[in-house]
Amino acid sequence: MLKRMINKKIMITTAALFALFLIYLVPKDTGYILTDVPSKVEVVNASVNTEEIYLLNHRHMLSRTKIVNNKKQNDIAARAKFVLESLIQDGPNSSQLPNGFRAILPSDTKLVSLSYEEEPKLLKVNFSKELLDVKEEDEEKMIEAIVYTATSITEIKQVILYIDNQILTLLPKTKTSLPSTLDRTIGINKQYDFTKTDNINQVTIYYIDEFNDNHYYVPVTKYINDDREKVNIIIDELTSTNTYNSNLMSFLSSNTKLLEAKQVNDIMELDFNSYIFDEGESKNILEEVVYTISLSIKDNYDVSEVVFKVDTEEIYKSVLKTIE
């Protein structure tokens, strides 16, 4: 009898230990199901809209960045108000700015009023006088950030800037004169590299920089003694092994040649040799190459599409209105 009782206790103990072992192996509920993740991500992405804004990077250069905006996309004035308020330091949207970038407008600045005219795609913006409390070296950059950010909205081509209801035509610290109506011809991150004052060509070129292994685009407006077509200057600069600033990059191979450039109505057709392809035998063009070329073309030509060809064969088409 005693032996039978001992065996029974051993069996019960063994069963209990085995049950505990099984419980240990089974993972606890973590609050999510892996198979649900893709569908959840898709739903979130489908409802997210982003806007393009220009912020200062860690090198103190204005850079093309993105910010989430769920305002009605057909309300141009509301979108413009949102992106311009995003340029105010410690402003209403400061928590949404991407890491590594900062706004350039002084923190006390107020956007007093704003109006949009569909024709001629004109935005009128009225800021408080605190806008002018910026440092002298940042006065022009501040105007560039406002204009490039506003005109990143396709429906806006021109900006009239007011300070307390008066059109701003002179920057008080640098004494720089401004046209009453501003557009992207004012340039951005300006670099002057000419030896004579006649025959100056103004070309804006987008380069690549990175922060925490993430690439983004930095436009530089160059003033140079070069009377060639701007598209030729763009490609030559992007294929150069030495940019004017060693911190900026281009992924376009130095062996790439532009064989022909042709503008047909609002389409720019670019015919390259095969070195525009990524390394290897695949006929792929790096996204960074497409973007640096397309964004540069967009700022210098009134076109809606850029068609990439290799030896006359169409390889890729970039629609500038939707490029992100």
In this prediction, residue 281 has a pLDDT band, given cuts at 50, 70 and 90, of low
154 contacts 136 by C-beta, under 8 angstroms: no
Question: Does the pLDDT of residue 66 top 60, yes or no?
Answer: yes
Name, in order, each residue with C-beta under 8 angstroms of 324's C-beta and a sequence gap of 6 or more: 50, 52, 66
Residue-averaged pLDDT of the chain:
85
pTM of the predicted model, to two decimals? 0.83
| pLDDT for 251 | 94
- Average pLDDT of 235-257? 84
d(CA 262, CA 287): 22
| pLDDT for 141 | 98
Residues of the chain above pLDDT 70, percent: 82
Tokens 């590594």, residue?
100
| pLDDT for 182 | 98
Closest CA to 180 of 164, 166, 169: 169
In this prediction, residue 70 has a pLDDT band, given cuts at 50, 70 and 90, of confident
Beta strands in the chain (DSSP E): 50-56, 62-68, 111-117, 122-127, 158-163, 166-167, 191-193, 201-211, 214-224, 258-264, 267-272, 305-310, 313-319
Residues of the chain above pLDDT 90, percent: 73
